[in-house]
Amino acid sequence: MKIMFVSAKTKSEINGKKISQLKLPKKIAIAYSIQFKEIAEKVLKILSANHKITLIIQVLGCSSPKFPSETEAILLLSTGKFHAVSLAFESKIPVYVLEENNLKKISKEEIDLLDKKRKTSYLKFLNADKIGILVSTKPGQENLTKAVSFKSKLKDKKSYLFMGNNIDINEFENFGINSWVNTSCPRMDFDSSVINLKTLNPS
């Protein structure tokens, strides 16, 4: 079977003057989702005149990039808040989202909400008697060995493995599971019923 890769990019245009006047800290990292790659390169050229760019990096839905310690803020070129809130929570660095030439800072309230959801998911896991362990079959996300190993350690809980290419959170309520442990894309823990395996087993 032949596979065709088609590049996708946003049709958005940047306002150079407006970008150059953005009120950002002096030392910033630029992150972007793939469809904003060309725009990110243009923004890099504009901001380099008055800012030190500590890093420019593509972010994926499941990535957790590391940023240089000198980074004072992250400028994210993307849509929505899927990447942004996670970046702010995990990096502990202020995150600004640039969308349609408008700048918005991810608020403390948005970060606290994600933190609350993750704490809720941990408590659900501790109190659960039935655990569903999610395993993706997608290349790069499949962690069956770790899932099986983790399952063997759950002596006081009933546990079940669920494997699939596309994992739909909306289907979870059909299985009578009290808590779900995710071994694939870490962004799935945006739902309070899901906790990442790395949270329970950092090693």
Contact 124, 157 (CB under 8 A): no
Domain total for the chain?
A: 2
Does residue 98 sit in the same domain as residue 170?
no
| Sign of the alpha-carbon torsion through 173, 144, 186, 113 | positive
Boundary residue ending a domain (106, 127, 144): 106
Quote the tokens at residue 81: 């808040």
Give the CATH number for residue 144: 3.40.50.11860
Mean model confidence pLDDT for the chain: 87
**In a domain? residue 3:** no
Q: What does pTM read for this prediction?
A: 0.80
82 or 181, which is more confident = 181
**In a domain? residue 8:** no
Question: Is the pLDDT confidence value at 110 over 70?
Answer: yes
- CA dihedral angle for residue 190, residue 195, residue 197, residue 201, rounded to 10 degrees: 120
Per-residue model confidence (pLDDT) at position 203 = 57
Mean pLDDT on 16-25: 91
Mean pLDDT on 100-113: 92
Does residue 151 sit in the same domain as residue 97?
no
Strands 158-164 and 130-136 turn out to be parallel
Q: Which residues contact 153 (CB under 8 A, 6 or more apart)?
A: none
Instruction: Kindly report, residue by residue over 142-162, the tens digit of the pLDDT.
Output: 889 999 999 999 989 999 999
Q: Which domain holds residue 133?
A: 114-200
Q: How confident is the model at residue 60 (pLDDT cuts 50, 70, 90)?
A: confident
> How far, CA to CA in Å, does 74 sit from each of 14, 70, 78, 115?
18, 11, 12, 19
Distance (Å, rounded) from C-alpha 124 to C-alpha 127? 5
